[in-house]
């Protein structure tokens, strides 16, 4: 088992083991224990009471965080004509059609997110083996196959994030940077939590949100009480 350095040991000593913190307390503690020399990413892991083996219990989607993620996102758009010009005006980093397909096939993938207009999907579909494993394939369920390329480009640039339950029913989602203030991190968490409640599968039985933990890139995990919503929901 790998040994942790003194900074990590100092950080984890500040976290009371077994305690469930309120969202604001947890975000504050994550900021305190983020001791790396770079601006660490703050990520939330939400374990849901779903059976991912059942198609009707897969939880996946995307959401625009109110305060973004603090990450610079390069957006590629597969579009032609007016929609291509619309994407460029909205700030897309790479825009193209056949030329962009050819570039991707050659391995030129200098972007973090992809949008495509519906009429382009016959061409983009040929890139499934390249874009799919990287999580870059446009998907109507995520809003990235759309005619409104202006809106989606702006949202992705501003910090729209994808959430997807893995085989264990856990969604890992970035909430921002350790340099964000506590309220901004809490607001982002609240937006995600509210969204996950909204998309709860009707066939899911028992407790839906089983556990929540938040941590920075190099810091210890802090458990959030999933029953405490007063920090971000009107009750």
4 has pLDDT over 70: no
Same domain, 85 and 137: yes
130-162 pLDDT, tens digit per residue, is: 999 998 999 998 899 999 999 999 999 988 898
- Cβ–Cβ contacts within 10 Å for residue 155, how many? 22
Same domain, 55 and 105: no
Contact (CB, 8 A) for 114 and 76: yes
- Taking the C-alpha atoms of residue 120 and residue 199, their distance in angstroms, rounded to an integer, is 28
Contact (CB, 8 A) for 76 and 195: no
Cβ neighbours of residue 199 closer than 8 Å, sequence gap 6 or more: 59, 61
Q: Look at the chain and report how many structural domains it folds into.
A: 2
Same domain, 43 and 102: no
Helix, strand, coil % in the chain, rounded to nearest 5 = 35, 20, 40
pLDDT band at 18 (very low <50, low <70, confident <90, very high): confident
177 has pLDDT over 70: yes
- Structural domain range at position 97: 75-158
Give the residue from 133, 158, 183 where a domain finishes: 158
Contact (CB, 8 A) for 111 and 76: yes
pLDDT score at 1: 40
**Mean pLDDT of the residues in the chain:** 91
Task: Provide the sign of the torsion angle of the four alpha carbons 131, 152, 168, 53, taken in this order.
Answer: negative
Q: What is the mean pLDDT of residues 67-87?
A: 95
109 has pLDDT over 90: yes
Q: Is residue 235 part of a domain?
A: no
Same domain, 63 and 83: no
Same domain, 219 and 110: no
Put simply, whether the predicted model's pTM sits higher than 0.85 gets the answer no
């Amino acid at each position: 088992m790998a040994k942790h350095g003194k900074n990590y040991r100092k950080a984890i000593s500040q976290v009371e083991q077994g305690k469930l913190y309120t969202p604001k307390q947890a975000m504050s503690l994550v900021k305190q224990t983020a001791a790396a020399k770079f601006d660490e990413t703050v990520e939330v892991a939400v374990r849901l009471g779903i059976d991912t083996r059942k198609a009707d219990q897969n939880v996946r989607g995307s959401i625009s965080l109110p305060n973004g993620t603090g990450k610079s996102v390069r957006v590629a758009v597969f579009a032609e004509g007016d929609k291509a010009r619309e994407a460029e005006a909205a700030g897309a980093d790479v825009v193209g059609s056949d030329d962009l397909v050819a570039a991707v096939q050659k391995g030129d993938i200098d972007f973090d997110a992809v949008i495509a207009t519906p009429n382009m999907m016959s061409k983009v579909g040929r890139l499934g083996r390249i874009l799919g494993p990287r999580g870059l394939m446009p998907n109507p369920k995520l809003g990235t196959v759309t005619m409104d390329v202006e809106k989606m480009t702006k949202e992705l640039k501003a910090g729209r994030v994808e959430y997807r339950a893995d085989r264990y029913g856990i969604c890992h989602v970035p909430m921002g940077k350790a340099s964000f203030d506590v309220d901004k991190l809490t607001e982002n968490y609240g937006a995600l939590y509210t969204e996950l409640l909204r998309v709860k599968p009707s066939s899911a039985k028992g407790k839906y949100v089983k556990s929540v933990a938040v941590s920075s890139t190099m810091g210890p995990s802090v458990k959030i009480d999933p029953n405490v919503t007063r920090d971000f929901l009107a009750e």
